[in-house]
Amino acid sequence: MKNSRFPEGFLWGGATAANQLEGAYNEGGKGLSIFDMVTFVPKDKRGNNIEMDVKSEQELEELLAGKGGDNFPKRRGIDFYHRYKEDIALFAEMGFKTFRLSISWPRIFPNGDDHEPNEEGLAFYDKVFDELLKYDIEPLVTLSHYEMPLHLVQKYNGWTDRRLVDFFVHYAETVFNRYKNKVKYWLTFNEINVSTFSPYIGSGILVDRVEHKEQAIYQALHHQFVASARAVKACHEIIPDSKIGCMLARMEVYPETCSPDDVLAALEEDQKNLFFTDVQVRGYYPSYMLSYFEKNNIHIHMLPGDEEILLQHPVDFLSFSYYMSMVASGSPDKEKEKGNFFSGIKNPYLETSDWGWQIDPKGLRITLKKMYDRYQVPLFIVENGLGAYDKVEEDGSINDDYRIEYLRAHIDQMGEAIVDGVEIMGYTSWGCIDLISAGTSEMSKRYGFIYVDQDDYGNGTLERRKKKSFDWYKQVIATNGAQL
Ligand code: P53
């Protein structure tokens, strides 16, 4: 299309994660993953939006003994494990150029510290990748998306233990070697910054086992940075024509007012978010973070060679999720209103989703421009979308105009950012098929172009049904974003 703002070969598609999609949690030799232990908590019993952490040894023991609840939605997912052919055919019908999925680490190494991989797990992803390639859909594969083997939590307290680096690199090399002719686009750790607010899901840490929580989190992150850089190195060696990126939950932060105090608070919030990409793209720890560590009595233990590996093997591109923006205030005792996911301050210029996420399409353009200025590497939006309640009408249709509106506005701003000079590789909308929510384990928080008949308790036929947004997105891709 001549009038498109998007470059030729732009990678349009959808994004998912194994733990929210596959189900079959105990089939094909798979070991338990951390998210297999997270139960559904009904809305009226939830403190806030994030209920995904297992916090203590005792809590984990109870869950394993079957005493901590019986609704584990991520164990069932949406049964992609058995229905991937049907689902991929629907993605192909929409014209997907790429499909983002994760490999479930415990399908390949059930305990995480095993020496030999599980052939049945490897064979499953061979079939999935072959199916995608049959339709010319490029797989975009996340190595670790909140689904590390549970055994690594039990035995090592997750990424706090340096030995995880070797286990992860062995896993990464195994899948690079196996899929080197099928997969060219890779991501290391999904939303690597998630550990700072969810240490169990981000790093496999049971917080009751550590004395200094922040110390443990940042030490675990150091191990992940090193593991990620070594994976980058291995990926380039094993698959020379590959591209491998990092992945950040991008939190664009605005000052509440133009008061310098608020501006400074917003800047410092932003630095805490950009720290992760500073390390992974620039290749070294930024001075503001070293200062933060010093002030908070955090000491990162590094081995000789760690700094070199970070510097020598930065990522090829930067990918991120974008759902909302946030507001920071410099006055600590100010009453914070509820309504924002993390900081609690409401932006009066924005509307919120049914889950209180503040919808901000222009924030996407701002964030794209800011990150491209800072890093000068290609960007990839690998998650964006609207979690909403959908209604199936009597005639079977699902009229998700609100979703179309959300995506249209964001894609439009992405187009404007390209016109502004930002280099963007692609866009994969989150949860292109309805799946289990990461944050709340709900099925009823839906993101898809494809409806899946299942409720929060696992009732339903699992039948797939196109929503109104299905045909809309199909036309977006067909016109390379010219017709929104
Ligand atoms: P759900 C928090 C903030 C932003 C993104 O989230 C987040 C989270 C964690 O909930 O996670 C990403 O399902 C994540 C996906 C997740 C998606 O956003 O809670 O990478 O796994 O499903 C949406 O609505």
Q: What is the complex's ipTM, to 2 decimals?
A: 0.97
Q: Across residues 38-49, what is the average pLDDT? A: 78
| Interval between CA 303 and ligand 1 midpoint (Å) | 33
In a domain, 25, yes or no: yes
Q: Which residue in 211, 383, 394, 463 is the catalytic one? A: 383
Instruction: Note the pLDDT tens digit of each residue in 292-338.
Output: 999 999 999 999 999 999 999 999 999 999 999 999 999 866 645 44
Which CATH number does the domain housing residue 145 bear?
3.20.20.80
In a domain, 4, yes or no: no
- Locate the ligand 1 atom nearest the alpha carbon of residue 247 and give its number: 20
- Locate the ligand 1 atom nearest the alpha carbon of residue 50 and give its number: 10
In this predicted structure, what is the pLDDT of residue 479?
98
In a domain, 261, yes or no: no
pLDDT at 267 over 70: yes
| Interval between CA 1 and ligand 1 midpoint (Å) | 33
Q: Between vectors from CA 372 to CA 423 and to CA 353, what angle results, nearest 5°?
A: 90
In this predicted structure, what is the pLDDT of residue 51?
62
d(CA 6, CA 419): 9
Q: Is 429 in the pocket of ligand 1 (CB under 6 A)?
A: no
- Locate the ligand 1 atom nearest the alpha carbon of residue 190 and give its number: 20
Quote the domain boundaries for residue 428.
Answer: 11-252+268-328+357-478
Q: Is 36 in the pocket of ligand 1 (CB under 6 A)?
A: no
| Interval between CA 383 and ligand 1 midpoint (Å) | 9
| Interval between CA 439 and ligand 1 midpoint (Å) | 6
Q: What share of the chain is helix, strand, coil (3-state, %, to 5)?
A: 45, 15, 45
**In whole numbers, what is the pLDDT of the chain averaged over residues?**
95
| Interval between CA 385 and ligand 1 midpoint (Å) | 10
Structural domains counted in the chain: 1
Per-residue CA distances from 470 to 201, 383, 466 (Å): 31, 17, 6
In this predicted structure, what is the pLDDT of residue 340?
39
Query: Is there a contact between 95 and 12 (Cβ–Cβ < 8 Å)?
Result: yes
Q: Is 147 in the pocket of ligand 1 (CB under 6 A)?
A: no
In a domain, 464, yes or no: yes
Q: Is 38 in the pocket of ligand 1 (CB under 6 A)?
A: no
- Locate the ligand 1 atom nearest the alpha carbon of residue 355 and give its number: 24
Per-residue CA distances from 410 to 4, 336, 374, 378, 416 (Å): 15, 28, 21, 18, 10
Which residue CA neighbors atom 16 of ligand 1 most closely? 438
- Locate the ligand 1 atom nearest the alpha carbon of residue 387 and give its number: 24
Q: Is 249 in the pocket of ligand 1 (CB under 6 A)?
A: yes
| Interval between CA 77 and ligand 1 midpoint (Å) | 15
d(CA 74, CA 458): 10
Residue 8 annotated among the catalytic residues of the structure: no
Q: Is 35 in the pocket of ligand 1 (CB under 6 A)?
A: no
In a domain, 343, yes or no: no
Tokens in use for 91? 């993605």
Q: Which residues have C-beta within 8 Å of that of residue 121, sequence separation ≥ 6? A: 28, 29, 30, 104, 107, 108, 110
Residue from 382, 383, 435 to probe ligand 1 pocket by mutation (most atoms less than 8 Å from CB): 383
In a domain, 118, yes or no: yes
Q: Across residues 178-193, what is the average pLDDT? A: 98
In a domain, 351, yes or no: no
Q: Is 437 in the pocket of ligand 1 (CB under 6 A)?
A: yes
Percent of the chain with pLDDT over 70: 96
Confidence of residue 84 (pLDDT cuts 50, 70, 90): very high
In a domain, 333, yes or no: no
Q: Across residues 425-429, what is the average pLDDT? A: 98
Q: Across residues 159-173, what is the average pLDDT? A: 98
In this predicted structure, what is the pLDDT of residue 273?
96
